[in-house]
């Protein structure tokens, strides 16, 4: 079992916790079904509470994420099906989720799925940034289909708020870019 590099407080000294991480690595994100909730960096911790209940700590990609309840239900159902129940969820909204928490394997899976993975956020990245209008053109991204860097942003928003829509000018294929947050 491999844990994502960014897992905050994961402890897998207990074999049941390791089994829980393995189960969670199979729970797909409903909006980006190429990634598990572990690949995406949503799972912050797995621990057995004093009352014997498995507690999973999740950080949603953003506080208004419409998939949060579905993710919670899918996680609890997967743990129950694996015989690791009862379980409960605890949402940890601070620190806020960052696209830097996507594992290297998750970034590889995004690219293979046809979504350009996010650049790593820099120390000056903030949730709200004021930029000149000329800076809104967006970075030149590598097309996940043909590898060309001759790409252009079509829309700041793709199928979800965390993605932007791009088009490759070489192969003319559209693709989404998972924005760094």
Do 92 and 120 share a domain, yes or no? no
Q: Which of 81, 60, 83 minimizes the C-alpha distance to 72?
A: 60
Listed residues 99, 129, 153: the one ending a domain: 99
Do 133 and 86 share a domain, yes or no? no
Q: Which of 27, 29, 75 minimizes the C-alpha distance to 54?
A: 75
Q: Is 52 helix (H, G, I), strand (E, B) or coil?
A: coil
Question: Measured in whole angstroms, how far is the alpha carbon of residue 59 from the centre of its chain?
Answer: 10
Do 123 and 158 share a domain, yes or no? yes
Mean model confidence pLDDT for the chain: 84
Listed residues 50, 67, 99: the one ending a domain: 99
Sequential DSSP letters for 54-94: EEEEE--SSTT-TTHHHHHHHHHHHHHHTT--SEEEEE--S
Residue 162, in any domain of the structure: yes
Residue 120's domain comprises: 115-178
Position 10 pLDDT exceeds 50? no
Q: What is the CA radius of gyration of the chain?
A: 18
Contact, 99 vs 62, CB < 8 A?
no
Contact, 43 vs 56, CB < 8 A?
yes
Q: What is the pLDDT of residue 15?
A: 82
Which tokens sit at 79? 């743990």
Do 74 and 126 share a domain, yes or no? no
pTM of the model: 0.72
Q: What is the pLDDT of residue 138?
A: 59
Angle at the Cα of 163 (from 122 to 8), degrees rounded to 5? 50
Do 25 and 93 share a domain, yes or no? yes
Do 150 and 121 share a domain, yes or no? yes
41 dihedral zone (left: phi>0; alpha: psi -120 to 50; beta):
left
Position 143 pLDDT exceeds 80? yes
In terms of DSSP bridges, do strands 115-116 and 174-178 run parallel, antiparallel, or are they unpaired?
A: parallel
Q: What is the pLDDT of residue 13?
A: 64
Res. 168 pLDDT band, cuts 50 70 90 = very high
Q: What is the pLDDT of residue 115?
A: 93
């Amino acid at each position: 079992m491999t844990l994502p590099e960014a897992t905050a407080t994961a402890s897998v000294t207990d074999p049941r916790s390791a089994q829980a991480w393995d189960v969670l690595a199979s729970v797909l994100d409903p909006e980006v079904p190429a990634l598990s909730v572990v690949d995406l960096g949503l799972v912050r911790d797995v621990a057995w509470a004093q009352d014997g209940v498995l507690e999973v700590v999740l950080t949603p990609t953003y506080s208004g994420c419409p998939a949060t309840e579905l993710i919670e239900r899918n996680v609890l159902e997967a743990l129950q099906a694996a015989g690791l129940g009862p379980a409960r969820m605890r949402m940890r909204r601070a620190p806020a989720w960052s696209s830097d928490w996507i594992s290297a394997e998750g970034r590889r899976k995004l690219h293979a799925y046809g979504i350009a993975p996010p650049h790593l956020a820099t120390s000056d990245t903030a949730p709200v940034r004021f930029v000149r209008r000329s800076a809104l053109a967006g970075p030149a991204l590598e097309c996940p289909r043909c590898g060309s860097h001759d790409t252009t942003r079509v829309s700041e928003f793709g199928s979800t708020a965390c993605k932007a829509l791009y088009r490759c000018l070489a192969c003319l294929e559209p693709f989404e870019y998972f924005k760094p947050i």
